[in-house]
Every structure is written in C-alpha cells, then in structure tokens.
Structure 1
Amino acid sequence: MPPGVDCDVVVIGAGIVGLATARALLQAWPGLEVVVLEKEPQPATHQTGHNSGVIHAGIYYAPGSLKARLCRAGERATKDFCREHGIAFETPGKLVVATTEAEVGRLRGLRDRAGQNGVEVEPVGPRRLAELEPHVTGLEALLVPASGIVDYREVATALADDIRSAGGQVLTSTAVAGLREDADRVRVLTGRGVLTARRLVACAGLQADRVARLGGLDPDFRIVPFRGEYHQLPAARDGLVRHLVYPVPDPDLPFLGVHLSPTIGGRITVGPNAVLGLAREGYGKARVSLRDVADYARFPGLWRVARANLRTGAVEARNSVWRPGYLAACRRYCPELTLDDLRPHPAGIRAQAVLRDGTLVHDFLLRESPRQLHVANAPSPAATSALPIGAMLAERVLGAQGR
C-alpha cells in the first residue's frame, strides 16, 4: 500500500448493501484492507431495519432490467446465505390478488412478465384462492411460490460478522464529515480523525446525495424521503393469512400498495402507504427536519413529481391521518378487517432518488469519479438483491484498481 494510505477500500454505510459490498470485496480479494464506516451505533439502523422483511422473487420488474436480474439472483442468494448462517427464514409464497376486471387484465400482464423474468408463478381462480386464503377475496390471483420472509437485521448482523472474520473492520458511531479525492487516494474526515483509502464506495441510502456532494460530485438527483406507514394486526389475528397478500400494482403509481405480510416473528403487518417524509431519518409522525424539508423543497424535480401525482399524494396523505381510508385499501381483498385490527407498528422511510426533470428513479443508479463509487439509488428490492449488488459493486471497484 502506498505511504500514507490506511486501507484499500472504505465503504460508507453499514446498511445491507454496504455490508454486502464489503463482504464481496473481501471474498474476491482475501487480504484486502476494507473498512466500513457507519454513523449510527449499530448496523441496519435505517432502511434495512425498517422494511417489511420480504424476500422478493422478481415478478414486477421490466424484463432485462438490472433490478429484475439482481432480484432473481438475490432471492436465491439470500436464502442460501440464511441457510449457511443459521438465520431463520420462511417461504410462504406471495398471492397477488385482483379485485376488479381492470386488475385482472394487469394481473395477466404480470404473469407474462414473470415468465420473461424466469419466475415460476401459478394462476389462481376464486375457488383455489378461497382454499389458499379463506379470509381473502378476489376475482383472480397469481401465486408466486418463491417469495419469502426474513429479518434483514439478522442478515446484516451476519454480514458484519463475516467482514470482521475476513479481517475487515466495521466502525460504528463514525460519521463522515468530509471527503477529498486526490490523484492516488481518498481522504475521509470522520469524528475519529482522517482515514485514507485507495478507493471509496458510498452506500449512504437516505444521505446518498449529501455524501456524493461531500465527495466533490455534483449530483443530478436529490433524495426525497417517502414515509411508509405500517400497522400490525393484533395477536388474535395471527394466522389470518398464510401467504404474503399483495394488490395488483397500478402502473401509474410508483409504489406497490398496501399489503398483508406475515413476519418471521409470527405477527402480520399491514402496509405501507407512502407519504412525503418531513425528515429523512424521522420515523415518528411528529418528526420534522427543517433542513431536510428545505433541501427537497428547493429542488425543482420534487415539484414536478408532486404535480404528476397530486391526486394520489392527496389520498395517501388523507389515509395517513384518517384510518378508515387506510382500512378501505386493506378491505379490498380482506374485507373482514376492522379499525380495531390496525395497531401501531414502526414506520419505514424509503430513500427515493428524483432527477431534476421530476423522474422517479426506479432502477439502481450509480455515480462515480476516478476513485469514488456512489450508490445513488438502491430501490426495493435492494434488501433481497443485496448480495448480488455487493458482488457487482466489488467487481467494479476491483476492476478500477486493476486487481
């Protein structure tokens, strides 16, 4: 290593994508000096630790897209990783349920897309649907047997253990305050001092645009936080559904809609909706960050998104404060649910990259300089796809180093 360089690669962010990248680097090049920096006291504090825990099979995504290929590979890789590390996971399968004739047509299109993506699916009529899920109603459904559930915080913990076992470091409570790229190294200013590396990979999630700016990049995107609000069914409703139960996605909307999700702990969650967040890392409804709001309010892309989705945004905002509206979305395919069934559950916040022209970025987005690689957007199913994403990023970094 050149004089004055502390390590080969610094990875910013100990979410599941950053950890998977560090692990892949160490697997591809044993003995590489890799350091992961995380500003929080423990890994998986934000998006990784606040999702629904679904192992997606990859039926929704455009055939041939990076998202489709990585999800398909990630579904298998995640399950293999869990088996190797003794992490509990289940494969209940997913039912995508059509409740209107318009949704039936979209469901059949989804079946064709699943075939193009190499995902096994089974068409389900109303009689078969009643056998599989007696409490769910619909005109038709699509069964996706490979869909599973896991606690991604446990996966992240195991990834961090693998990194340490391979000689890497995971430094928590270590916020990055500045970056400077020189001809032969990147200097990382932290609360613990300055760390220098030959290469840097930033997997900063909700702070991706800010970290890119610290690195001297001029990001053409802005992270807009969308707050996904969940509810949990009471213990008396455990077992209400055995499968993951999803609505047919609306192609005009950027999110999948409210769904029922059994969890590894045995409970069932309902959600999420999607409302504009008032803080990037504020999970309570009352949390407001003036800095975060000002950041996206000054960005022209946000207002273009708002104009294009005005009606949908109004409905989501209404349902956030008016539980009967939220309940109505659930009762479309599970009509016996009541308001008393919607119990509090922690919210999640999705880091959504938005371009200046108002485009919501739906696939993975990377930005780079000679010695930096920034993951600008890692949308769902990034948790499912984390292991192949990490391998892809590691290959890119090592190729740039001439390794």
Structure 2
Amino acid sequence: MTDVVIIGGGIVGLATALQLKQQRPQLRVVLIEKEPAVARHQTGHNSGVIHSGLYYKPGSLKATNCIQGYHMLIDFCDAEGIPYDLCGKIVVASKQEELPQLDTLYDRGQRNGLTGLKKLSLAEMSEIEPHVTGVAGMFVPQTGIIDYKQVSDKYAEKFQLLGGEIRLAERVEQVTPGTSMSIVVTNKARYETKLVVNCAGLYSDKIAQLTQREAVDVRIVPFRGEYFKIKPQKEYLVKNLIYPVPDPNFPFLGVHFTRMVHGGVEAGPNAVLAFQREGYTKSDINLKELFETLSWPGFQKVAVRYWETGLGEMYRSFSKAAFTKALQALIPEIQESDLEPGGAGVRAQACDRTGGLLDDFAILETDKAINVVNAPSPAATSSLSIGKTVAEKAMARF
C-alpha cells in the first residue's frame, strides 16, 4: 500500500515528490514514469532559460510560483553545486506599435517585484548586444541559463535518498478511484494508494480523465517549438539572450536567441501544431491523437481565431528563409547560411472547450486526486514552488 502515487517523471513531478518527502518523510511516495529515464519530454527538451517572472499577470499562479520558484531554484543549485549563469536578457521592441506592450511588461515586472529593470534606447541596447536592432528595449537582469535535466536528476537523487521510490518504464493504464483507496494499474504492477498526483505533462488531461468521474473540460494541445543553432563562427552575434516583445494574445514568446549553459546559441522556437503529443519532428504523426486534437471544440475555436498567426508559424516551420527573416527583426546581420538545424520541444498547452488557451497554471482536485493539468513554461523555473504547492495540497489529505 502506498500513500501517494505521482504519475510523471518530469521536473514538476520530481519536484513534487522531493517536496513531499522533505516535508513528510514518513509518507510512502512512489513516482511512476513511462520512459526508461526521468525528464525525457518537456523537461529534457527545454531551452534552459531561468525565467524572471516578467511576463505574467501579477497575482496569477504563474507570477507567484515563478518568482518564488526562481529563488528556490537558485538556492537549490547553490546548495547542490549545479552550474547556472544569471546573464540577463534584453527584450526588444522592433516597431513603434510594440512600445505600449514593452511598457506593460516593464510595469508587470515592477509589480512582480523585479529590481534592476532598465528601459533602453537603441544605443544602450547596442552596448549590451552590439548586433541587435530595434526601436527600444528593456534589460532584465534576473534571467539566466541552466541545464534542467541536471536539475531534474538531482531532484530524483535526493528524493530517492529520502526513501522515495521511482519506477521507470512503467506506463499507467488504468486508475480506479475508490472510497478509501485508489487503484493504479500499470503495464508492470498494481498500486493501492490513498492519493494520486498527476504530473503527466503532455498526457495530463488523459490521466485526469482516469482519476475523476466528472468531465475534465480541458484538453492538451501539443505545440512543437523548432530551433536552429547558430554556427560556431557566427555565435559572436549573440552575447546572452535576446527576446522580442511577445504577442499579448498568443501564449508564446516568439522566436528569440538563447545562449546555452553548455555552449552554443539557439534561435527559435516557432510554435506549430504537433501531429502527436510527443511529435518532435514534422514526420511524427499519430492519427488517433491528431484526430482528438482536431475534433476538440476548443481547438477548432483557436484555429478560427489564430489562423493567420498559425499559418505564419507553419510557413516558418517549412521555410528556413522565413525563419531567418523573423530573426533578422532582432539581428539584421543573421543570414540563412548562419543557421543549422537544432532541436525541438513540444509544449503541453491546455485548451478549454470555449477555445481559451489556458495562460495560467491549472490544478484540478478531487478527494482522491490532484491533477496538474496546465504547467507549461515557466514550469521548470517554478518547479520547486509548484511542487511545494502540490505537496501542501497533498499533505492536507493526511
């Protein structure tokens, strides 16, 4: 018999497991992960940015957890000797019409408690990033870079040292909620547990549907973000991190430049519909999952609302020249020949029935389950704070 079964071995599931064992060592906690190693999906394909909390609505779960999680992450890495670099970033307004949104971001950052934010003229931006162009910008000193796979491995190590159990290469097939216990059946074992915690990322909606009898009125829509790498001889074009002013109506940050903690510079990502939940390439197609996405009323409303933006993202996915042109809005010197194929990640974006792309973190609760159904970026930065929140919800049941 188990006290808590956590489904999902990404950074949020691992952080939740660690927080639970640290705060209630006597609880028997088992984490189940379908892959042969932890952090294989969203976490392992993460661009490695430590987010400051600049973008998020003050008072939202994203804002509070990102800012608290930021400090918890830095403290954890300092204690465990995990390298990171708080190099800062600039956010660039390329056009006059983006200036009001830049002002909004500056205001949000201040309201979220960020210190040292600085508005920049083009000349001041050039002192930080000599090859950038734009109308105006902002420097955000708190932003940094890190390896979240390394962080996740350390969470897993510490969780196990505290007596927690991780079961790898086990896929959850059934969850049966009972009056006092729930039954979790995998392809390898059967677990009786007092509480199920769902941190399944790209499949969090599927697991939520298993854990509660009432309808789960959100679906995960997978968006693939594709990156290019800047060839080594042109990496001098980017010193640290360069971001555009994001579209306030679309929950993605736009193509940007990111220096990586282990070396190299990434450019991207775009945001295109993935044809399967773990579809990291254009040729990855799961017809059943694709049909589920296309037939979801919420996604159909999203498609109608954002068709023009979506077509632009898809065009950039197939046209390196178009991708390069988007990057040239930030660095005009960048050329198509300077780019080589990079990696890709898939964002688990929750979408409700009305066509709302959930902007905030979302947690659904029943008597026997806690379902983290929306935890996209900045979930990695926020992981210890989200884990603490979920752990506290869990401990309230015991």
Q: Which moved more, 1:12-21 or 1:362-371?
A: 362-371
Aligned equivalent of 1:345, options 325, 337, 342: 342
**What 5-or-longer segments of structure 2 have no aligned partner?**
none
> Which AA in structure 1 matches 2:45?
H
SS at match of 1:62: coil
Equivalent position SS for 2:222: strand
Extract structure 1 runs of 4+ deviating beyond 6 A.
Answer: none
Alignment partner of 1:97 out of 71, 92, 103: 92
Partner of 1:359 in structure 2? 356
Residue number in structure 2 paired with 1:38: 33
What is the match of residue 131 of structure 1? 127
**Counterpart AA for 2:262:** G
Which residue is 2:140 aligned to? 144
Q: 2:206 aligns with which of 207, 210, 220?
A: 210
Match of 1:296 in 2: 293
Corresponding position: 1:71 with 2:78 = no
- What residue number does 1:168 align with? 164
In structure 1, the residue corresponding to 2:59 is in which secondary structure? coil
Give the share of equivalent positions with the same residue, in percent. 43
The alpha carbon displacement at 1:276 in A equals 0.6
Q: What residue number does 2:177 align with?
A: 181
Letter paired with 1:382: A
**Distance apart, 1:75 and its partner CA:** 1.3
Deviations 1:126-156 (CA, angstroms, capped at 9, x unpaired):
1111111111112211100010100100000
1:347 aligns to what SS in structure 2? Answer: strand
Query: Retained in 2: the 8 A contact 1:92–1:242?
Result: no
Aligned residue type for 1:370: D
Partner of 1:326: 323
Query: Deviations for 1:346-393, whole angstroms, at most 9, x for unmatched residues?
Result: 110000110011111010111122111111111210000000000000
1:372 corresponding residue in structure 2? 369
Q: Distance between the aligned counterparts of 2:167 and 2:397, measured in 1?
A: 25
TM-fit CA distance, 1:239: 3.6
Secondary structure at the aligned position of 1:395 is classed as helix
- The yes-or-no answer on 1:23 pairing with 2:18 is yes
Unmatched 5+ stretches in structure 1? 1-5
In structure 2, the residue matched to 1:259 is 256
Q: State which drifts further: 291-300 or 221-230.
A: 291-300
* Letter aligned with residue 13 of structure 2: G
The alignment covers a number of residue pairs equal to: 396
2:197 equivalent in structure 1: 201
Measure the CA separation in 1 of the matches of 2:317 and 2:24: 48
- CA displacement, residues 231-250 of structure 1 (integer Å, 9 cap, x when unaligned): 11111123422221000112
Partners of 2:202 and 2:120 lie apart in 1 by 38
CA distance in 2, matches of 1:254, 1:79: 26
User: Counterpart in 1 of 2:278?
Assistant: 281
**CA–CA separation in structure 2 for the residues paired with 1:186 and 1:163:** 23
User: Could you tell me how far apart the structure 1 residues matched to 2:165 and 2:266 are?
Assistant: 35
Task: Describe the superposition over 1:73-114 as per-residue Cα deviations: whole angstroms up to 9, x where unpaired.
Answer: 111111111111111111110100111111122211211111
In 2, Cα distance between equivalents of 1:60 and 1:295: 31
- How far apart are the structure 1 equivalents of 2:294 and 2:94? 37
> What secondary structure, in the 3-state scheme, does the structure 1 residue paired with 2:364 have?
strand
Distance 2:15 2:155 in 1: 7
1:305, distance to aligned residue in structure 2 (A): 0.3
Query: Could you tell me how far apart the structure 2 residues matched to 1:193 and 1:104 are?
Result: 56
1:3 maps to what in 2? none
Q: Following the alignment from structure 1 to structure 2, what is the Cα–Cα distance between the partners of residues 350 and 155?
A: 19
- Structure-2 separation of matches of 1:106 and 1:15: 33
Deviation at 1:254, TM superposition (A): 2.2
- Indicate whether 1:83 and 2:89 are aligned: no
Moved more, 230-239 or 68-77: 230-239
Q: State how far apart, in whole Å, the 2-side matches of 1:191 and 1:252 are.
A: 41
Return the letter of the residue paired with 2:378: P
Do 1:238 and 1:266's aligned partners in 2 also have CA atoms closer than 8 Å? no
- Amino acid corresponding to residue 93 of structure 1 in structure 2: G
Contact 2:212 2:369 in 1 (8 A): no
Per the normalisation by structure 2, the TM-score is: 0.98
Alignment partners' CA distance in 2, 1:66 and 1:212: 20
Partner SS state of residue 345, structure 1? strand
Q: Answer whether contact 1:175 1:190 (CA < 8 A) is retained.
A: yes
Work out whether 1:246 is the aligned partner of 2:251.
no
RMSD, aligned α-carbons? 1.0
The one-letter amino acid of 1:388's match is: S
Give 2:48's aligned residue: 53
TM-score, length of structure 1 as denominator length: 0.97
Where does residue 268 of structure 1 map in the other structure?
A: 265
